[in-house]
Every structure is written in structure tokens, then in C-alpha cells.
Structure 1
Amino acid sequence: MSVRNRFGSAAAIALTTTVSAVLLSACGPDNADSGATAAPGSSAPGSTAGSAAPGGASHPGTPAPGGKEVNGTTVANHLTISTGTRNVAMNGTLVDFGSVVRDLAWSPDGRKVVYVGDSGDLMTANPDGTGKTTLARHPDGEEWSHPTWQHAAKGPSGDAVPNETERYNNIVFTAKKAGALRLVKVPAKGGSVEDLSPHNSEGGDNAGLPQPPQTGNTWADAGGRQAAVAFANTPTNEVYIYDDYIRPATQDIGKGSQPALSPDGGQIVFVRAVNGHDHLFTRSTEHDQKAEKDLTPSATTDFTEPAWSPDGRTVAARTPDGVDTVPADGSAAPTQVSTLPGLPVYRP
């Protein structure tokens, strides 16, 4: 079974009724800025397995205190779920952005979100839905999707390669026109939209390496401290990592789709069809480490659209029934944490 298509507009409209029924008595979005975070070394709630065999999802439908249905998001676990409607689940409640939010992603500091609005333009906003700004307007006949915030973090000494921090403060996303897919980028502070052209440098260690495809690229995900971008190529069903922090280099990870880089850039999770279902696989991003781990070896459902927790210990994924989490080391089975269908993403 191939990776499921994301729900369309009809399903999104139907979700409006569903998400309205999942309201919780919990902290609002502003409380995430109060300093409440998971204890160092702890896993996100829901990341421990139930009684299911490893790789087989356990769907207990855990009730919250008072018998209310949980949507799986808390201040402590940083998980957020965008549903393709105007509502985004976070901190145990639903935040109404006032207009449709598609493919929400967080800034590196967790103070802003970027998403595709109901007009199809690229938007930014505060976590509570205020301060909405149009970052870039899509051309007629072009569809934009799945933005990610590319950045180069400062090192332990407080500095970065000169000019790199600002150079890599970009939003990377997919542009689709006349059926053709390509990756594009725009400065996070606003500016012109440009093509992101993954390639290998012609000299040094990259001499002789084949050049990656320039079309058919989609589902970008930026991660790590050096602005690497993972992406999928649809025609070849291959996953790649592009890194031009020092010199351009593109690494072919192997068969799969919908990749996501861990917060430290050392691991990648992606989706691959196995025995009729979409499984989650992880592997190191090191060139000489190619061993893969199937996090869902006994899957009886489809796991798609994975995302890493900020501590890198948990992977959340969408299923037909909601959102599941699974330990990133594969030590336990996936567990359903939310019956709210949508795109899971963690707030840094």
C-alpha cells in the first residue's frame, strides 16, 4: 500500500465538526512559553508501549481525568496537531487561528509557526493564532505545501560560520505547477521565492558522485545544526539529504518518502511500504552507517507523516485513526495518543 494522500478539502470540512468535539480543560498555548518542559531525559507522554507486541499499534483510547477524550497534546510533550481546518491542537486544547491552517511547522525557537493558509499563500503567525502575516504569495496555477524552517544554529561557543546563521534563516517548501514538483525557499524575514537546487559539488570528496534529481522533489524537512534538508523524490521513491553548509553534498538515503531529520541531525525517519502497510524506518545520517530499523515491524495500519520530539527520543506519526507515538530506538510498540486526525509536529 502506498503512502496515503493527505485529506482533501471535503475531509477537512468534515473535520471541523470532529475537532470541535475534542476540546479539553487544559492550559492554553501561551503557557508553553512559561518554561514548562519535559524533564531532561524523559520521554514524551504516550511514548511508552502498552501490551501490544513491538510494532503492533495499541489503541486504548485513554481517557483524561473526568472521562474526557484526550487529543494527545500537553505542555510537557510539545506535540501539536494541525487538522487542515482553522483549529490546531496544542497544550491540551484547540487554538482557533481564524482561517484554515495547512501543514503547520514551527520556528527553531518555537515562537512562530509557518503554514499554508486558505488562500494558498505562505503565512506566519504567533502560537495563539494572532499576528498573522503573509510571507509570500503563490503565483496563479501553483500550489504550495509542507513548509519547513531551515536554520543554522550557533555552536557551543556562541558563534556560527560567518554569515551562515542569517544565510540559512529560510522557509523551504514544495511548489507544484502543471503536475511538476520542485523545492523552493524564501527568507524567513520575507523576500523573493527561489528554487532550492540540491546538487553535489564537483571537487573534493564529492567528485564523481551522481547529481540528484531536480524535479519531482517534495516533503522537505530541515534539521540539525547545519541547515541540512531531507526531502523525497516522487518519481524514484528515494529519500535524500542535502547539505551545503561547507560544500554542496546530497546523500541518497534509500527507498522511502516523507522524511524527517532528528533535532541533532544524526538520525532520519521516513516512510516505506512493507507488506501492504506504510512503516516507519530510522537510520543514521552518517555516510558509512546504513543500517535501518523498522519501528513498526508488525504494523496492521499505516504510519505516515512522522515527526521527532525535541529530545529525539520519540517519533509521532499519523494513522487513519489519529496520531501514534513510538520510541525512536524501536524498544516498544506504537501507542495511540490522539484520536484527532491531522499532521503531528513538535514545538521546539
Structure 2
Amino acid sequence: MRNRFGTAAAIALMTTVSAVLLSACGPDNSDPVAAPTSGTTAAPGGSGGSGGSGGTGGGGTGKATPPGPTGQVVNGTSAANHLTISTGGTTVAMNGTTVDFGTAVRDLQWSPDGKRAVFVNGDGDLVTSNPDGGGKTVVAKHPAGETWSHPTWQRSGRDNLADTSPNATERFKNIVFASEKGGAVKLETIPAKSVGGTPEVLAPHNSEGGNENMPQPPQAGNGWPNAGGQRGEIAYANGPANEVFVYDTYIRPNTHSMGKGSQPAISPDGEQVVFVRSVDGHDHLFRRSTLDAKSEKDLTPKAATDYTEPVWSPDGKTLAVRTPDGIATLPSDGSAAPVQVSTVKGLPSFRP
């Protein structure tokens, strides 16, 4: 859209809001944020720079584009709706503006408290940072020949979990991601506080695998992990089987299938999973209860485009999805059709 402000007005506006920009990308989503100009977009970019060779500190520029007239929200992001969009370039759209992380940012997701981001940087390493791109920590460096993707922050939302399960607080502070080498995909995990650490293979299984009614889930081809729920559950997709699974290790390891699909996302309460399945030439969104296998529902029965890469809002009421034209949102119960909220083409996420 055309900018309706002249040069002088724009300079004055940039001067008055320079302090606001710092809070716009700070660790608290409730910080006051001025909305960006109508022309602001999160521009794709190259690698931008390295996230560091290991350890902590440095790197992030924390630069944000100037905000514009009060009340405008562009890119579909604002401090109120918690939506963020990473494009694979150096900038991330969030809080009604764009933030320069100083390195390529791929597959960005947020910690359960929203104070740290996790992503794969321009070097292909697993990195966490502050919301402004500063304070980077290289959690792990990828081995030669491996490609890492889709990191997710395993969590536990129960305040009394440590009382009922020894060491549970630390046990559920992990980052889970997909690793691909030579066409073979697997899940790996590493403590979130690691610095230059070494990930371990995550092998979902059933503790009752000896029971003929509880077969072991496939170990090869597992990818696209998404952690959520109150007990550290992890939803993931098995490519060869084109099937979605949920892995729960709270009391004893248990893995169960959610049916055919890909790109799963588990709800904040752990009771629902949304995933993608092709129907009549388009990618639809489906929702299924983790407790009732018969509860499957097509959330986009009239889809005339592809809806992919779904994510849940922190309150569990909204889904954001990627489309060929940008980002759309819809009620998580499927009570309304998706509505495009952004023309930025990237991976959506919600910052708690």
C-alpha cells in the first residue's frame, strides 16, 4: 500500500518511537508497541551472518523497522495476538514490526515462557536467543552432512510436576528437532541449557511393546516434531508411513497414532492435535483428540488453497497456518473459515 506520510513526517515519527522499538522486541509481550508502517514487510534474506562458533553472547542486532501510525497492524502481527513469522532470512516479523536477528533464522519457535527463541541459524546450527536476536547461545553444532530443522521446546505446564516425578522439571526442559542425513530422517533431543552440546537420538516407543496390541512405532523416517501439552508430549510425523504420532513419556513411554497426515502441532493442553492431509488436490487441516481416536474433524472442508504448517495460539483458541499467499488464521474448533492476516510468506509461530 502507498505510504501516506511525507519525508518530514516520517523522520519525526521515527524520532518519537526510537525508544519504543526496544520494548517492541523485548522479552515481555505486554510491552507497549507502536504498529508498523503500512509498507513494512519481513523481507527474505540470505544467511546474514553466523550465530557464533559455540558458547553464548553476541550476534543479534536487535534492529526493528520503524513503526507507523498508531492503531495500524500489518504483517498480521501485534503484541496482542502473539503471532510471529520467520522467513528464512535475517528478519522475523513480530509485535507489529520486523526484528533483525543478524543471521538467517529458520523454523523459529518459542520457549514456553516466551523469553527465548530457538531456531536453526545460517550455519545450520541449533541456536537460542532473546526475542530481539541478541544473547545467542549455540546449543549444538550440526555435524558435517547433517541438516537440522523444526526445533521445538519440550515443556511441562504442571506446577506440581516436580513433586510427583523426581527431576521432572529438568527432564522436560529439552529441545527436540529433526535431523536428516543421506535421506534418513530421525528425531534428536538435547537439554535446552546446553552450550555446544551433543544431541541424542529420540526413539519413540511403547513400554508395552511386547503386547501384540501395542506394536512399536516406526523408528526411521520420524520428523517435524512439535512439543506441547502439560506433560511434555511430542507430536511428530513419520514420512514413510505418512502418519502422525504422539509420544508421551510422563509416566511410562507410550506412543499412539493419530492417523494419516503430516506437519502435526499439539495443543497447549495436550488434548488435541492438528495436522495436514491432502484432500481432492489441496492440503486440508484436520483436528483429532489425543483421547478419542474417533473425533477427527476436517477444519477446512471447503479449502480452495493449501493450508500447511499449523501452530496453536497460547490460549488454544486460534490456529495460524501457512498458505501460498502468506499467513492465515482460523478458530481451532473449525467454526469459521481461515482468514488471511499477512502477506509475509514464512513459518508462523505464537510467542507465549
TM-score tier by shorter-chain length is: 0.7 to 0.9
Cα separation, partners in 2 of 1:89 and 1:330, compared to 1, 3 Å: same
CA contact (8 A) 1:280 1:294 kept: yes
Counterpart in the other structure of 2:256: 251
Q: State the Cα deviation string for residues 91-116 of structure 1 (Å, max 9, x = none).
A: 00000001100000101111000100
Secondary structure, counterpart of 2:26 in structure 1: helix
CA contact (8 A) 2:108 2:117 kept: yes
Deviation at 1:152, TM superposition (A): 2.2
How is 1:83-94 mapped onto 2 (pairs within 5 angstroms)?
83-94=87-98
CA contact (8 A) 2:28 2:115 kept: no
Query: CA–CA distance in 1 between the matches of 2:29 and 2:308?
Result: 29
How is 1:60-71 mapped onto 2 (pairs within 5 angstroms)?
70-71=74-75
What amino acid sits opposite 1:108 in the alignment? P
Counterpart in the other structure of 1:230: 235
Q: Structure 2-normalised TM-score?
A: 0.80
Deviation at 1:167, TM superposition (A): 1.0
Deviation at 1:69, TM superposition (A): 7.6
Query: CA–CA distance in 2 between the matches of 1:279 and 1:241?
Result: 20
Query: CA–CA distance in 2 between the matches of 1:202 and 1:188?
Result: 29
CA contact (8 A) 1:145 1:174 kept: yes
1:324 aligns with 2:328: yes
CA contact (8 A) 1:154 1:160 kept: no
Give every structure 1 segment of 4 or more consecutive aligned residues whose post-TM-superposition deviation is greater than 4 Å: 24-27, 64-69, 156-160
CA contact (8 A) 1:82 1:103 kept: yes
Deviation at 1:295, TM superposition (A): 1.2
Query: CA–CA distance in 2 between the matches of 1:87 and 1:316?
Result: 19
What amino acid sits opposite 1:78 in the alignment? H
Instruction: Please give the root-mean-square deviation of Cα atoms over the aligned residues, in Å.
Output: 2.3
Query: CA–CA distance in 2 between the matches of 1:264 and 1:208?
Result: 27
**2:274 pairs with one of 269, 272, 289:** 269
Asked which structure has the greater CA Rg, the reply is 2
Deviation at 1:283, TM superposition (A): 1.3
Deviation at 1:159, TM superposition (A): 4.4
How is 1:39-188 mapped onto 2 (pairs within 5 angstroms)?
70-155=74-159, 159-188=163-192
**Gaps (5+ residues) in structure 1?**
1-23, 38-63
**1:210 pairs with one of 208, 215, 221:** 215
CA contact (8 A) 2:243 2:259 kept: yes
Query: CA–CA distance in 1 between the matches of 2:251 and 2:144?
Result: 36
Cα separation, partners in 2 of 1:35 and 1:284, compared to 1, 3 Å: farther
Counterpart in the other structure of 1:29: 25
Query: CA–CA distance in 1 between the matches of 2:281 and 2:201?
Result: 35
CA contact (8 A) 2:149 2:179 kept: yes
Deviation at 1:203, TM superposition (A): 7.0
Counterpart in the other structure of 1:241: 246
CA contact (8 A) 2:235 2:266 kept: yes
1:279 aligns with 2:275: no
What amino acid sits opposite 2:245 in the alignment? Y
Q: Structure 1-normalised TM-score?
A: 0.80
Q: Which has the higher relative contact order, 1 or 2, with Cα contacts under 8 A spaced 6 or more apart?
A: 1
Deviation at 1:160, TM superposition (A): 4.9
Q: State the Cα deviation string for residues 193-217 of structure 1 (Å, max 9, x = none).
A: 100000001379x664111010100
1:196 aligns with 2:192: no
Deviation at 1:151, TM superposition (A): 1.8
1:315 aligns with 2:319: yes
Query: CA–CA distance in 1 between the matches of 2:204 and 2:110?
Result: 23
Q: State the Cα deviation string for residues 95-152 of structure 1 (Å, max 9, x = none).
A: 0001100000101111000100000000010000001111100000111000000122
Aligned residues: 297
Secondary structure, counterpart of 2:169 in structure 1: helix
